[in-house]
Amino acid sequence: MTTYKGLRGLTIQTVAGDPSPLVDGLIWYDSVAKKIQGSKTAAGSWATGGNLNTGREYVAGVGIQTAALAVCGTTSPGSIDSVESYNGSSWTEIADTNTARGTASMNGDGTQTAAIVGGGAAPGGTTGNTETWNGTAWTEVGDLNTAKDQHAGSSEGTTAASLVFGGGSPSPNTATAEVYNGTSWTEVADLNTSRERLSGCGTSTAALAIDGAVVPGAGATQATESWNGTAWTEVNDTSTVHYWGAAFGNTAGALVAGAYPAATHTDEWNGTTWSEAAAFSTSRVLHNAGTGGPGVEGGLIIGGVPVSAVTEEWTKATAAVTFTSS
What is the predicted pLDDT for the residue at 128? 94
What is the predicted pLDDT for the residue at 95? 98
What is the predicted pLDDT for the residue at 28? 84
Separation of alpha carbons 79 and 101, rounded Å? 5
Identify the structural domains of the chain with CATH numbers, from first to last.
5-41 (no CATH), 45-315 (2.120.10.80)
Separation of alpha carbons 220 and 199, rounded Å? 12
Mind giving me the DSSP string for 283-294? -BBS-EEEE-SS
Which residues touch 189 (CB under 8 Å, ≥6 apart)? Answer: 177, 230, 231, 232
Separation of alpha carbons 87 and 298, rounded Å? 14
What is the predicted pLDDT for the residue at 326? 46
What is the predicted pLDDT for the residue at 1? 47
Q: Looking at this protein, which amino acid is placed at residue 10?
A: L
Query: What burial letters (b/e) apply to 214-230, b meaning 16+ CB within 10 Å?
Result: beeeeebbbbbbbbeee
10-residue mean pLDDT series, the chain (326 residues)? 54 84 78 84 87 93 91 88 95 97 75 93 91 97 94 89 89 90 97 92 95 76 96 96 88 89 89 94 74 66 88 82 61
